Amino acid sequence: MSQRRLIINADDLGYDPAVTDGILRAMAEGVVTSTTLMVNTPHTAEAASRARALAVGLHLNLARWKPLSPAIPVSLLGRTGDFVEANAPGLPVEAVKAEALAQLAEAERLLGRLPTHVDVHKHLHTYPNILEGVGAAARERGLPVRSIDAEMRSALELKQVRTSAHFIGEAGHEAYWTLERFRRELEQLPDGVTELMCHPGLAPTHVASGYSQQREVELQTFLHPGARAIVQRLGIQLTDFRAV
């Protein structure tokens, strides 16, 4: 059996109906093995109802829409009571922990079970206060957390929070996951469990997003028969966060 195991996780389930459609197709027909749910959007409940049989984690959202916990200081929210991404560095650790626990509880209610893991929208857990609060909540619930680099991995491990051994993925002006990049990254995949972060989907129809048509390119990458052929040729075992 290969010692190289790969979690292909699609972020942003519930962000927008078209994004959800694409993610679910990538899991049903393609090589995507895991996704993470945003629980404070107008489209959350429908997405969760369609994904209950799948490997679904929490995409902790501290950047947009309203918090679920009263612990978030009102002074750090926008005029409509929504999160403001720029205020994330000022969120108190205990407030982050309380919000993470509230969003985990909502995900558990919607899915009928505890999420598989936690990651954070916009990688806001690169801020020490966010990482501290998320780590504390995840440790309390016994869940793994995404680590995007060696420093974050070490910090989580010191808190006795499980995480994958490696991480690959990005999102920018251009679609990140082309079939060629997928091939190159998998050919040099190290031993152990690697998380591959991706953003497949259809272009959002209800929510303004800076990553729109790029999602459709990624969707075609993960649906392409060549993607599965690459995985099989290299003897890589596809898995989800329950293997971490």
The candidate with the shortest Cα–Cα distance to 60, out of 137, 113, 157, 152, is 137
DSSP state letters, 1-51? --SEEEEEEEEEETS-HHHHHHHHHHHHHSS--EEEE-SSSTTHHHHHHHS
- The answer to whether 127 and 62 have CB atoms below 8 angstroms apart is no
3-state secondary structure of 192: strand
Q: Give domain limits for the chain.
A: 4-243
CA-to-CA distance for 204 and 164, rounded, in angstroms?
30
CA-to-CA distance for 7 and 194, rounded, in angstroms?
6
The H or E element containing residue 57 is: strand 56-60
Check residue 203 and give its pLDDT: 86
Check residue 211 and give its pLDDT: 67
The token duo for 132 is: 């501290």
Mean pLDDT by 10 residues, the chain (244 residues): 88 97 98 98 98 98 97 97 97 98 98 98 97 98 98 97 97 90 98 98 83 89 98 98 94
Check residue 173 and give its pLDDT: 83
- The answer to whether the predicted template modeling score (pTM) of the entire model surpasses 0.85 is yes
Domain 4-243 class in CATH: alpha beta
The H or E element containing residue 5 is: strand 4-13
CA-to-CA distance for 27 and 32, rounded, in angstroms?
5
